[in-house]
Homo-oligomer: A and B are copies of this chain.
Amino acid sequence: MNNYKINLPEKDIPKNYLNIMYYLQKYLGKLPDPPLHPGTKQPAGPEDLAPIFPMELIKQEVSLDEFIPVPDEVYELYKQYRPSPLYRAYNLEKFLGTPAKIYYKYEGGNATGSHKLNTALTQAYYNKQAGVKKIYTETGAGQWGSALAIACNHFGLECEVFMVKTSYESKPYRKVIMNMFGAKVHASPSAETDFGRKVLTEHPDSSGSLGIAISEALEGVIKSGGTAKYALGSVLNHVLLHQTIIGLEAKKQLEIAGDYPDIIIGCCGGGSNFAGIAFPFLVDKLSGQKKDLEFIGVEPTSCPSLTKGEYKYDFGDTAQMTPLLKMYTLGADFMPSPIHAGGLRYHGMAPLVSFIYHEGLMKAVAYEQTEVFKVGVDFARVEGIIPAPESAHAIKAVVVEALKCKESGKSKTILFNLSGHGFLDLKGYEDYLSGKIN
């Protein structure tokens, strides 16, 4: 029998991120359409992005190199919590009575409890290198904000976070974590920015959205007079790039276990945790080596960017300050309902994930909040880890696929990304358990 937990030696932490752009170019011969300048509608050049990102990250955004090295200092920090464990979900398999083999990569074992730290450290590092003093950002459920706070604290950068109001209220302790690591946190829409005040005037009861919070963070950067930059926890190419460390490790761990997946599943908010687990395997599908390999992105029915959105150029934020991104979108002014999976409440989708979906290389499914919490509780009971509501979306799809195997009697190997734990999302579980969510 295999081990429950498949550890990787520390020396096997990947030294490079994997750049899916290189492989898209190589095997498909095409790339996602580039971001456009919101004024000229021409492709946005590095100089257009320079006010908000350090140049090294802009270079990564457009790079066609196959591998991009993990900076040494970040590598050293990764060693504190990486390699993350890969678990074989024997108990879930038994509970479902499925012949499927289920593996999950668990990214919740660090101070911030999610995969977001992987990119936060790298982004903070390159900002520090570029002489930046302060980083503004937005956060949904707070995983990204906490991750950036800890990274900024390490590199001696100031950090100011606009947190979507519904999550600010339902996950109060996320704020405490950000404060613990020295960050300043506002509920968004806030009275701190012109745009926030405008939204509050028009919609005093606004529960906020990632789009609004991004606009507020960008306003902070613009008003800083060049000392501050912006950081994003998902969507952009360089963010997805940093998350490929998840899939790269998982691939090595599955090799140790003597296995290879048939289906790979991740939840999709902005797309980074899905991309993180999927892209290193997608290479094998692109190359033709694993033609039948399936990828499934999972989103909430209340914010169905992939399953119900349109593939077109749209703004990344509500105030329409960002470059235009070619992506599946529900519209930059879409206001998702205040579900507990705050990390999945984004109107758009990473251009890379959108492109891959458009090319038919992955599927997408959407589930209701209640059915997601139900499998979250089941998973906690049998596997002993309370999943974040975001990650529980992935679990729902895993259960569906595993039950298909049960019906057909055919075993498949399913890999999914358990992107974070739910210790700071217990209000959602409480509402579910007490029947307050219908």
Contacts and interface: CB of A to CB of B under 8 A. Distances in A.
A79 B380 contact: no
A247 to B, nearest CB: 20
A153 interface: yes
A434 to B, nearest CB: 8
Interface of A: 3-5, 7, 9-10, 79-81, 87, 91, 109-111, 113, 150, 153-154, 173, 176-177, 179-181, 377, 380-381, 383-386, 421, 423-424, 426-427, 429-430, 433
Contact of A386 (B79, B91, B177, B179): B177
Contacts of A81: 384
B384 A79 contact: no
A384 B4 CA distance: 25
A7 to B, nearest CB: 5
Nearest to A379: B111
B427 A173 contact: yes
A23 B176 CA distance: 46
B176 A381 contact: no
Contacts of A150: 381, 384
A66 B181 CA distance: 46
A4 B80 contact: yes
Contacts of A3: 9-10, 79
A377 B180 contact: yes
Contacts of A181: 380-381
A437 to B, nearest CB: 14
A87 B80 CA distance: 8
A180 B153 CA distance: 34
From A423, A424, A429, residue with most partner B Cβ within 10 Å: A423
Given A384-B81, A423-B424, A179 B4 contact: no
A427 B172 CA distance: 9
Contacts of A154: 381
A111 B10 CA distance: 24
A37 to B, nearest CB: 39
A3 B385 CA distance: 26
Given A80-B91, A173-B423, A426-B177, A384 B10 contact: no
B426 A380 contact: no
B377 A430 contact: no
Contacts of A79: 3-5
Contacts of A179: 430, 433
26 contacts: A3-B10, A3-B79, A4-B79, A4-B80, A5-B10, A5-B79, A7-B7, A80-B383, A80-B384, A81-B384, A109-B109, A110-B384, A111-B380, A111-B386, A113-B423, A150-B384, A154-B381, A173-B423, A173-B426, A173-B430, A176-B429, A176-B430, A176-B433, A181-B380, A421-B423, A423-B424
